Amino acid sequence: MEQSIKILKENNIKVTQQRLVVYKLFFKKDKYFTAEEIYNEVRPKLPAISLATVYSILELFKEKELIRQIRIKPDKSCYGICKNFHHHFLCRNCGQMYDIEIIPCPTLKNGEVNGHLIEELQGYFYGTCKKCLKKRK
């Protein structure tokens, strides 16, 4: 059985063509997408899909913890596959987003702070990426 179908079924998600195409997109292009970018990517394969359907699929995948929603961009959420713990860097010049691997601090390894359970942490860095810095020189 195809891996994407297997993962959806294991998470009690009814497999539909729309859900499958959206889920496969995250593996085809290992990056974070806005809902609009996903809509534009899948529309050639699924001309009848609506932006509302994309948002519904993203909410379902998020609830099942198949994807993560990050809010690094001031005006839009981005969605991507849940991978190992990492932060994100957004270049203010070109808009490119990068994963930043950082060793978790002891508080995160404990999973609690002052008796509070940590369920999620999102760390964002903003600046100029090395490609844009090279272009400046």
Domain boundaries defined on the chain: 3-80, 84-136
Q: What share of the chain in percent tops pLDDT 70? A: 94
| Bridge partners, 81 (sequence order) | 67
Beta strands in the chain (DSSP E): 67-70, 78-81, 87-91, 97-100, 112-113, 116-117, 124-127
73 or 43, which is more confident? Answer: 43
Please provide the average confidence, as pLDDT, over all residues in the chain.
87
pLDDT in tens, 81-110: 866 667 888 899 998 888 888 776 777 677
Residues 71 and 131: their CA atoms lie apart, in Å, by 23
Q: What is the domain class of 84-136 according to CATH?
A: alpha beta
pLDDT in tens, 3-37: 889 999 999 999 999 999 999 998 887 788 999 99
Q: What fold does the segment set 3-80 form as a domain?
A: Arc Repressor Mutant, subunit A (1.10.10)
40 band by pLDDT with thresholds 50, 70 and 90: very high
Residues 102 and 123: their CA atoms lie apart, in Å, by 10
* pLDDT for 1 beyond 70: no
pLDDT at 127: 93
